[in-house]
Structure 1
Amino acid sequence: MTTSCWHEIVDTTFSINGTEDPVADNAGTSFDLVILGGGSGGYACALRASELDLRVALIEKDKLGGTCLHRGCIPTKALLHAGEIADNARDGADFGIRTTLEGVDMAGVNKYKDGVVNRAFRGVTGLIKSRRITIVEGEGRLVAPNAVQVNGTRYEAPNILLATGSYSRSLPGLDIDGERIITSEHALQLGDVPRSVIVLGGGVIGVEFASVWRSFGAEVTLIEALPRLLAVEDEASSKIVERVFRRRGINYKTNTPYKSVERTENGVRLTVESGETFEADLLLVAVGRGPSTTGLGLEEVGVATERGFVRTDERLRTSVEGVRAAGDIVAGLQLAHRGFQQGIFIAEDIAGLDPAVIDESGIPRVTYCDPEVASMGLTEAAATERYGADGIETFTYDLAGNPKSQILKTQGFVKLVRAKDGPVVGIHMVGARVGELVGEAQLIYNWEAFPEDVAQLIHMHPTQSEAIGEAHLALAGKPLHVHG
């Protein structure tokens, strides 16, 4: 553990405006809520619980903010934005601007990326300290249904939250060396742009790194065992991403299971089950993330798990009374905002506010590759399974008809899925910056809006949000800028 990043945090108590935390009067070990893990789910729960006058201890062995802030969402999106700048410089002539891309200064890119992360880290740390939350630095272990032990000290509470996050998975026999065979954590620290890279895994992490490395000028080959990239998204979204990736020069192979890898004199050689081989400087293993539950003492206390994930009910209660779980260790979408909302839910549930159960289908999803992919609710396949082939209606609005998308020179669509004669149950978007549109999509889905409800809303012109309005107008039976 690197303690230099914790210079403002003391082990169990801290002072605010010269006044010591009152928890210290009780030796600092008895609380209303003890949280194991300071990532998105853990710190959100701590902040909300503190607002509700609960005494909270937050235990973290590394840095507050967790994977998302330090090794996931934030640094990767900073790299992707730097890649967008590189593409803009390279393609300036398309907009009548004479620009050239002289190269990518990874030291400068990393300085920018790390600056974003460090500012967010200081903000989170300061906010948590200001709420009189006791921060405990160290590796915690559940030793009883009401107790967590850290560095030999026992912290007790009637409510325990497990929120220890996830780690980068590998495959049997595929050893990560951190040099030529790397995970996303290593990829974030590279000092140079690789000349060539193989990305093993076509999910969100693999697709995003393939996109940014191509923007930086690397030769990229993407290997995916499943039939398509971004397999959890609507099939139409996958197809357009694959089409744009081909145009960008990103090579990809689907339906291609991994067999083996070996180090060569200059890099790596990957062999797939068909016998075909691929060579590159680096191999990024992006086959998903596993729950960080090993060594937490769950089995000894009786907390049930399945494939390493903590089993919970709809209110995120585990098999042991008083013990909750949130975030990546709970099976489902491994998204920071999911964990964040779960943390708030748990704090309010403990405080007796009886919050509404979180609808997993109502959680927005965004993949920040070029083009971006954003979605809300059910895919067409999932809606067909739920309502039947004759029980749904779909409509796809091509962004070619959207003036702002033409200005941005982006391709994509807004696709709607509705229950027949009912509400919209799925919204799927592909194109530049469509991640910024998913907020409205979330409202449409979670408020069970009918196409007619959205069609009457005014969408600012010219914006990409007009595409959402146009799609709903068409599905409501009054298409305007749609042929046929």
Structure 2
Amino acid sequence: MRRYDVIVVGAGTGNMLLNDELRHFRTAIVEPDRFGGTCLNRGCIPSKMFVVPAEIATSARQGRRLGVRSTVDGVDWPAIRERVFGRIDPLHEAAVKHRESQGIDVFTEPARFVGPGELQVGDERIGADRIVVAAGSRPVIPAITGLAAVPYHTSDTIMRIDRLPKSMVVVGGGFIAAEMGFVFSAFGCDVTVVQRGPRLLMAEDDDVSAAFTRHAAGRHRLMLNSEVTRVDRVAGGVAVTVEDANGTRLVEAEQLLLCVGRTPNTDLLDVRAAGLEIDRHGHLKVDETGATTMPGVWALGDAANHFQLKHLANAEARVVRHNLLHPGTPRRLPVLAAPHAVFSEPQVASIGLTEQAAREQGVEYRVSRRDYAETAYGWALEDTTSFVKILASPAGGRLLGAHLIGPHAALLIQPLIQAMMLGQTAQQLANEVLYIHPALTEVVEQALLAL
């Protein structure tokens, strides 16, 4: 058995863990797929590179309301796809060579635990006193009758298809469905979204979820409170049987996209063989230092938390790196709430308690909502639907949650994220900070002043 000081399982955020501070360790990294993980190859980065041209196409179609005679003659799907993956795909080989040049052993076959501190990787057994599990997650494939006989896609594959389909059925109503539904409809595809719940983005604040659902209904067909019960192959694509309270309907499309969630890859690693505990969703149980239930093993990212957020995995990696080096003085993850954004149209961004969660938990709160339309830049945008919503404690003004929907929501929320994490109050943000006029940030200022 080959011994190491550190073994990292997963070369997404796990690869970022290995900086110069760890150079004195004899290190191995295991990645049976591609360096960069989900974010680089199948998730955050390529999807946003598709979102940007989708936004341009959408803006062009909306130009007339601002006096601009603009139209969209069509999109060059192969060119869009090549811009994305022509840049991303070469990075894997470059990353492998870079790590090998640093003296790090790279294993490219699947790994599984065979005991505490020991892994079987292909025909080799390797061990270490320190192991970091950063093995990520994969799309959930729902149990739908007929699915095994029908071609379908997930977020892992849909961005690499050879041509733009004329029609698509998207199953799911979360952030991946929201982003991909927007992208393909903006490119001219006839999109139908089938969602089990009454709205899209059900995890968001109710006001945001309802507003986003209204927007989505204006660009493609929504089948809410509905469930796909069967799929069949037909000439030219797939026939999707959808049931709701009114009965059964059949929708045909060229492509079927499944966006019903993701599951951690811990089941592929046989983690129980190493004495590692998992929760009911399959995530490794970790404490605030990133340590698992087995000494010498840490975990981060989708294998360990439920958020599926690259920025949270990055923060976890910084904590775990310190704790690998300084086990006697461990750091803890300084996260009170995990912010997130949905890069659809409109954008959505959120942190902390939603209003419905505050009510359910019996948390006392004040709430303020301000529309983009109440600001000068909102006038420039002719925006009549976007808003900022902030919750704070009645005593002291501590921020409890912030929820935005509209252009640049992922940017506008950042000062509210900073305030929540640094303990600044609504009063401080409203009265002790200057906001540039007539920038869109004034909508945040007005919501704070009202609060």
2:306 aligned with 1:335: no
3-state SS of paired residue (1:38): coil
Q: Which residue identity lines up with residue 304 of structure 1 in the other structure?
A: E
Q: Distance in 2 between matches of 1:168 and 1:444?
A: 34
2:291 aligned with 1:320: no
Partners of 1:55 and 1:133 within 8 A in 2:
yes
Q: Which residue identity lines up with residue 177 of structure 2 in the other structure?
A: G
Q: Which residue identity lines up with residue 471 of structure 1 in the other structure?
A: A
108 and 349 in structure 1: CA distance in 2 versus 1, 3 angstrom threshold: same
Q: Distance in 2 between matches of 1:89 and 1:212?
A: 14
Show the counterpart of 1:210.
181
Show the counterpart of 2:330.
354
Show the counterpart of 2:134.
163
2:257 aligned with 1:263: no
Partners of 1:210 and 1:222 within 8 A in 2:
yes
149 and 49 in structure 1: CA distance in 2 versus 1, 3 angstrom threshold: farther
Question: Alignment RMSD, CA only?
Answer: 2.5
444 and 126 in structure 1: CA distance in 2 versus 1, 3 angstrom threshold: farther
Show the counterpart of 2:420.
445
Shift of 1:362: 2.1
Q: Distance in 2 between matches of 1:408 and 1:159?
A: 53
Q: Distance in 2 between matches of 1:260 and 1:378?
A: 37
2:252 aligned with 1:276: no
Show the counterpart of 2:15.
43
Q: Which deviates more from structure 2 when the two are superposed, residues 103-112 or residues 315-324?
A: 315-324
Shift of 1:325: 1.6
Q: Which residue identity lines up with residue 279 of structure 1 in the other structure?
A: E
Q: Distance in 1 between matches of 2:146 and 2:112?
A: 27
Show the counterpart of 2:65.
94
Q: Which deviates more from structure 2 when the two are superposed, residues 119-128 or residues 231-240?
A: 119-128
2:445 aligned with 1:464: no
Show the counterpart of 1:406.
379
Partners of 1:37 and 1:165 within 8 A in 2:
yes
Task: Give the TM-score of the pair, scaled to structure 2.
Answer: 0.90
C-alpha offsets along residues 357-388 of structure 1, whole Å, 9 cap, x if unaligned?
A: 343x5221000000000011111122223343
Q: Which residue identity lines up with residue 444 of structure 2 in the other structure?
A: I
C-alpha offsets along residues 419-458 of structure 1, whole Å, 9 cap, x if unaligned?
A: 2223011011111121122322210111222111101211
356 and 314 in structure 1: CA distance in 2 versus 1, 3 angstrom threshold: closer
Partners of 2:290 and 2:300 within 8 A in 1:
yes
321 and 241 in structure 1: CA distance in 2 versus 1, 3 angstrom threshold: same
Q: Which residue identity lines up with residue 8 of structure 2 in the other structure?
A: I
Show the counterpart of 1:252.
222
Shift of 1:122: 7.4
Show the counterpart of 2:352.
377
Partners of 1:48 and 1:348 within 8 A in 2:
no
Show the counterpart of 1:392.
365
432 and 129 in structure 1: CA distance in 2 versus 1, 3 angstrom threshold: farther
Q: Distance in 1 between matches of 2:399 and 2:346?
A: 24
Q: Which residue identity lines up with residue 260 of structure 1 in the other structure?
A: R
Correspondence 1:423-438 to 2 at 5 A = 423-438=398-413
Q: Distance in 1 between matches of 2:356 and 2:394?
A: 15
Match among 142, 167, 176 for residue 196 of structure 1: 167
Shift of 1:69: 0.3
Show the counterpart of 1:16.
none
Match among 199, 208, 221 for residue 237 of structure 1: 208
Partners of 2:46 and 2:85 within 8 A in 1:
yes
Correspondence 1:470-481 to 2 at 5 A = 470-475=446-451
Partners of 1:374 and 1:429 within 8 A in 2:
yes
C-alpha offsets along residues 252-289 of structure 1, whole Å, 9 cap, x if unaligned?
A: 12222332222222322222333233222222110011
Q: Distance in 1 between matches of 2:330 and 2:356?
A: 33
Q: Which deviates more from structure 2 when the two are superposed, residues 256-265 or residues 206-215?
A: 256-265
Shift of 1:132: 5.7
Show the counterpart of 2:261.
288
Shift of 1:131: 6.3
Aligned identity (percent) is 29
Give 5+ residue unaligned stretches, structure 1.
1-26, 476-484
2:123 aligned with 1:152: yes
2:44 aligned with 1:73: yes
3-state SS of paired residue (2:401): strand
Q: Which residue identity lines up with residue 265 of structure 2 in the other structure?
A: S
Give 5+ residue unaligned stretches, structure 2.
none
Show the counterpart of 1:22.
none
3-state SS of paired residue (2:160): coil
Correspondence 1:110-149 to 2 at 5 A = 110-118=81-89, 133-149=104-120
2:158 aligned with 1:187: yes
Partners of 1:397 and 1:413 within 8 A in 2:
yes
63 and 72 in structure 1: CA distance in 2 versus 1, 3 angstrom threshold: same
C-alpha offsets along residues 2-25 of structure 1, whole Å, 9 cap, x if unaligned?
A: xxxxxxxxxxxxxxxxxxxxxxxx
3-state SS of paired residue (1:143): strand
